[in-house]
Amino acid sequence: MGLRTGGTARRGPGSAAGGFLLREPLARLVLGGDGGPALPLAVSYFAVSMPGIAVFFAQQLVDGVLKGAGDTRTPMRLALLANGLILLCDPLFIHLYGVPGAAASTVLCRSVALGAGLLALRRAPLLREAAGAPPARGAAASLRRTLTTGLPMSADFTVRQAGTLALVAVVARLGVTAVAAYAIAYKVLYVATMAFYAVRQAASIHTAHTLGAAGTAALPPGAAATARVRREIGSQAVLVSGCAALAAALLLGATAPVLMAAFGSGPAVARQGVVFLRCIGPYLLLMGGFIALGGVFEGSGGAPVLLRVTALGVAVQLPLAYGLSEWGLPGVCLALTLGTAVQCAAVAAVLRRAWRPGQEDALRSPARAA
């Protein structure tokens, strides 16, 4: 049940308070230099969005509890609800309230999903039954186990988001128009990546439950069976996520002008946003496969290895983006694609080793997998 809940509970309040207090330095970092006339707008955006991070972390906590109880459908529905509302409400709030409206819309829509998630927790039969059961371990032991499992996964997400934030600072070198186009286009990409993470969660839970059945009638014991399970689940996850990525890439390429116009962007912003959405297809295909395979790592206890691969990709991606940004947003797309290709190559190398009988610890041991 504590796949990510330990790291989420610790990060939420500190991130919200720290982000709000540092909203102006953060805005300067994102915009580069003194920020110019866009600085007050960025500060007003962070003044709303940073406290709103607490809502996001609370939603992640609720999702983790539901998934740990075996309910993966409700978190998926909550994610669809939140992101669907964001797509509908963002244009309206931006028109009414400007830049702060975009942040307010995101926080409000996630709050609606959080409320629905809390209701789902109260109605979950297994959780209601578990509430009256005596604890199997003491509080300290349970907390330590949760943190050991959850912190690497939380760190993986944090590293990825930090890389995304740093990439905005690189895009800022291209001017305010490029930043606006990138910000709108990336919001649209959240819908596609939501599907990838849903597949990742399913693969993680399926891997953990199936490997936990080793030695029973459900799964004969032995290294060959373990390797086969990982290979089959990984292949299925990549196939599903790859199909979703291909569909998203084709849909975004075809509807990019309509999507940019829906957000009320001016001609210059819309033009750059359309170019970005039509160049992002290869990145989506690679990202879909990488995120899906991450579920096999998490379900096998290999989150520390996955964290290393994520950090490697970010370390490659940012310098490339800086150098290729001279080509504009297409150069940023190319950097994203190349960085993700490095991550996919690293994951493939580790999994080829782990799928061989006798190499089961390759996913669990960073030293052996490096």
> In this predicted model, what pLDDT tens digit does every residue of 25-59 receive, in sequence order?
776 666 666 666 777 877 788 788 888 888 888 88
* Residue 47 tokens, joined: 């003044």
β-strand partners of 216: 219
* Residue 143 tokens, joined: 């907390």
Neighbours of 269 (CB within 10 A): 22
Cβ contacts of 115 within 8 Å, gap of 6 or more: none
Residue with token string 């750059």: 272
Tell whether the model's pLDDT for residue 7 goes beyond 80. Answer: no
**Residue 8's pLDDT is what?**
47
* Residue 240 tokens, joined: 């599903």
CA–CA gap between residue 249 and residue 283 (Å, rounded): 9
Tell whether the model's pLDDT for residue 154 goes beyond 50. Answer: yes
Q: How confident is the model at residue 91 (pLDDT cuts 50, 70, 90)?
A: confident
CA–CA gap between residue 15 and residue 103 (Å, rounded): 16
Tens digit of each residue's pLDDT (9 = 90 or more) over 266-296 = 888 889 989 999 999 999 999 999 998 888 8
Tell whether the model's pLDDT for residue 299 goes beyond 50. Answer: yes
CA–CA gap between residue 160 and residue 193 (Å, rounded): 13
Mean pLDDT across the chain: 79
Burial of 300 (0-12, 13-18, 19+ CB in 10 A): buried
Q: How confident is the model at residue 12 (pLDDT cuts 50, 70, 90)?
A: very low
**Residue 1's pLDDT is what?**
39
- Amino acid sitting at position 116: A
Tens digit of each residue's pLDDT (9 = 90 or more) over 222-242 = 556 666 777 888 888 899 999
Instruction: Report which of residues 142 and 23 the model is more confident about.
Output: 142
Tens digit of each residue's pLDDT (9 = 90 or more) over 305-318 = 888 898 999 999 99
The predicted model scores a pTM of 0.68
DSSP alpha helices (H): ranges in 213-302? 223-262, 267-279, 281-299
Which backbone phi and psi does 64 adopt, to 5 degrees? Answer: -65, -40
**Residue 47's pLDDT is what?**
81
Which backbone phi and psi does 219 adopt, to 5 degrees? Answer: -150, 115
Tell whether the model's pLDDT for residue 74 goes beyond 50. Answer: yes
**Residue 234's pLDDT is what?**
83
CA–CA gap between residue 274 and residue 182 (Å, rounded): 10
